[in-house]
Structure 1
Amino acid sequence: MLNIIRIVWAGLMAFYYYVFIKDYKKVKAAGQLDEISVAKVGTVGFITNFFDTLGIGSFAPTVAFNKFMKLGVRDKELPGFLNVGDTLPVMCEAVIFTTVIAVEPVTLITMLAAAAIGSYLGAGIISKLDELKIQKIMGFALLVTGVLMTLSALNLMPGGGTAIGLTGGKLVIGIVGNFILGALMTAGIGLYAPCMALVYFLGLSPQVAFPIMMGSCATLMPVCSVKFIKEGAYPRKAVLVLSLFGAIGVFIAAYIVKSLPLIMLRWLVIVVVFYTSGSMLLSANKASNKESAGNTEGAGNSDSEDK
């Protein structure tokens, strides 16, 4: 059964890279590739995916690094940057963790499929939104992520059980829950923390969270990434650099480092997540006020002209 899943992943990645390379070449030929610092983006890709492999998550830190290191990725393109750019590293993680941790096949397959379907529907909506809406959605998404990470760090989330699979009503809850998480991931809400909470709540072993959450991302990200690519809602060069250096970070974390004392780092990430969330929401609020003032002024001028 695991081999079937990997065949599906191989097919998804082949299609993903076919679409990506075709789009990349077209944009490069037109001289419209994004201008970025390869060193900066590569460093961010390596660091965020290194710690992603250890369970920290990569979306929120990447958004924060984009602000702090001035990577040059526009807020409107962030969902595409995150999903398209982290597809390869997450696929590497999924292959590694489904090899070393056992999960009941029906549970794994159904939850992975649900996440992929949710992401496909979500990406079609998110990729068409303007920058102001993206700022609001991602600001709120980071706030939710920060709360979940805080609860996890304080051991206030359900502690899980010993099961490696779900049946009956719990399986239905798991499928529906992962469908929703897959859709939300396209808006920049990292799937790891909420999926881990879902797995714990349903009584699965905490270890089982790793192949489920990483396998879910590996299944959904090529799917939703194709939508972002076709809509042109992502920075091509930045994505390429992020993905290549991110994959290197994954392999070093998985096979060389394996584990680290991550308590202080986790709290640092939480602080950064809340800061970035507040910054995005503040920017969105200022833009909204400016837009409202412009509309009011325009209406006033129109009234004056009528008089």
Structure 2
Amino acid sequence: MVNVVLGILGLFAAAFAVVFGKDLATNKDKLEPQTSFAKSTGIGFIVNFFDTLGIGSFAPTTALLRAFKQVEDRFIPGTLNVSCTIPVILEAFLFITSVKVEIITLVCMLAAAVIGAIIGAGIVSKLPEKTIQLIMGIALLATAFLMLAKQSGWIAGLGTGTAIGLSGGKLIIAIVGNFILGALMTAGIGLYAPCMALVYMLGMSPKVAFPIMMGSCAFLMPAASIRFVKEQAYNKKASLGITIGGIIGVLIAVYLVTSLPLDILTWLIIIVVTYTSITLLKAAIKSGENIENN
């Protein structure tokens, strides 16, 4: 079954690569002169290295592209999707093959995220963005505190799991949870940190979060990216540079993650979850200020 999952993911990757490669070849003489290939490659390496650690790549990529004036704002959404698709698929391939996860749990959670993004988008899109950010921010901050309490020995019995799969009620919770996280992705809420928190709270090994969260995103991204390519709504040179740099960053970071002891990996997850919760709460506060000013 793992081979089936990887085979489907491989087909998605191939389909995207053909469309992306064909567009680059067709427009090789029209690559953006204001964009530095070297800078884009460096950005790709940095953001995808940290993406593999669970930080997420869209926000830092946006910040760096703007800081170095590499991409016009109107092309940033397309560039983010197109440039990160192959690195994220590579992350999924490497983690699924190197981290052991029970296949039923893996397939169910991957499918739930994809279905959530497709079906749940209509529901989530009707919710106020500020409300979503506040709820997720508070929930992640609470999870980070509980993880910190467990790691520091303040409480016992929480997050001690080493399970590589779920069954019964916990599996149902995992499926529903990832369905919701898939839907939240369409509202701009990253899946990585919430998925880490979900896996931890359900008693699974911290390493199990990586193939699940990377796989979830890998199955979602190719379709959106192909649309951006066909609509010519992305920066070609930046996307190529970020992709190349990203592949290198992923290969180095995956080795780091898979070789870390679980105790250190848990501390890494605490940092990622805390960072994400703070960014969500700051965004919610900023959103509220904008509403008041208007």
Q: Which amino acid aligns with 1:223?
A: A
Matched with 2:103 is 105
Residue 71 (1) aligns with residue 70 (2): yes
Asked if 2 retains the 8 angstrom alpha-carbon contact of 1:82 and 1:188, the reply is no
Q: Which range is displaced more, 5-14 or 200-209?
A: 200-209
Provide the C-alpha distance between the structure 2 equivalents of 1:124 and 1:181, rounded to a whole number of angstroms: 14
In the alignment, what sits opposite 1:217?
217
Cα distance change on mapping 1:116 and 1:264 into 2, 3 Å: closer
Q: Is 1:79–1:187's contact at 8 Å kept on the other side of the alignment?
A: no
Aligned to 1:164: 164
Q: Deviations over 1:170-189 (max 9, x none)?
A: 33332233233234334543
Q: Distance in 2 between matches of 1:24 and 1:123?
A: 31
Match of 1:85 in 2: 83
- Corresponding residue for 2:4? 4
One-letter amino acid of the structure 2 residue matched with residue 55 of structure 1? G
Deviation (angstroms), 1:203: 2.8
1:195 is aligned to 195
Q: How does 1:262-301 map to 2 (within 5 A)?
A: 273=279, 277=283, 281=287, 289=294
SS at match of 1:86: helix
The CA deviation string for residues 104-124 of structure 1, in whole angstroms up to 9 with x for no partner, is: 111111211232344456899
Letter in 2 for 1:2: V
**SS in structure 1 of the partner of residue 203 of structure 2:** coil
2:250 is aligned with 1:250: yes
Q: Does 1:42 align with 2:41?
A: yes
Q: Which amino acid is 1:56 matched to? A: I
Q: CA offset at residue 222 of structure 1?
A: 1.7
1:266 to 1:212, Cα distance in 2 relative to 1, 3 A:
closer
Q: Deviations over 1:241-297 (max 9, x none)?
A: 1111111011122336855996998699669947984898599769x95xxxxxxxx
Name the aligned partner's letter for residue 92 of structure 1.
L
Instruction: Report the residue type matching 2:59 in the other structure.
Output: A
TM-fit CA distance, 1:9: 1.2
- Aligned pairs (5 A) from 1:224-239: 224-239=224-239
Q: d(CA) in 1 for partners of 2:170 and 2:28?
A: 51
2:81 partner SS: helix
TM-score (norm 2): 0.73
Please give the alpha-carbon distance, in whole angstroms, between the structure 1 residues aligned to 2:221 and 2:206: 23
Question: Taking structure 1 as reference, are residues 113 and 229 closer, same or farther at Cα in structure 2, changes over 3 Å only?
Answer: farther
Unaligned runs of 5+ in 2: 149-157
CA positional deviation for 1:101: 1.6
Structure 1 runs not aligned, ≥5 long? 130-135, 290-307
User: Please, which moves more after superposition, 251-260 or 62-71?
Assistant: 251-260
Distance 1:223 1:153 in 2: 33
Determine if contact 1:160/1:203 at 8 Å carries over to the other structure. yes
Question: SS at the partner of 1:56?
Answer: coil
Mapped partners of 1:2, 1:86: distance in 2: 23
Of 3-12 and 194-203, the range deviating more from structure 2: 194-203
Tell me the secondary structure at the aligned position of residue 242 of structure 2.
helix
Aligned residue type for 2:69: K
Size of the aligned set, in residue pairs, is: 277
**Contact in 2 for aligned 1:124/1:227 (Cα 8 Å):** no
2:79 pairs with 1:96:
no
Partner amino acid, structure 1, of 2:237 = K
- Select which of 109, 113, 116 maps to 2:114: 116
Secondary structure at 1:162's aligned position in 2?
A: coil
Contact 1:120 1:227 in 2 (8 A): no
User: Could you say what secondary structure the match of 2:164 adopts?
Assistant: coil
Deviation of the 1:15 alpha carbon: 0.9
Q: Deviations over 1:171-223 (max 9, x none)?
A: 33322332332343345432110111222233322221111111212222223
AA aligned opposite 1:22: K
Structure 2 Cα separation of the partners of residues 267 and 169 of structure 1? 25
- CA displacement 1:126-174 (0-9 Å, x = unmatched): 9xx9xxxxxx96x988877766665565455873623222223433332
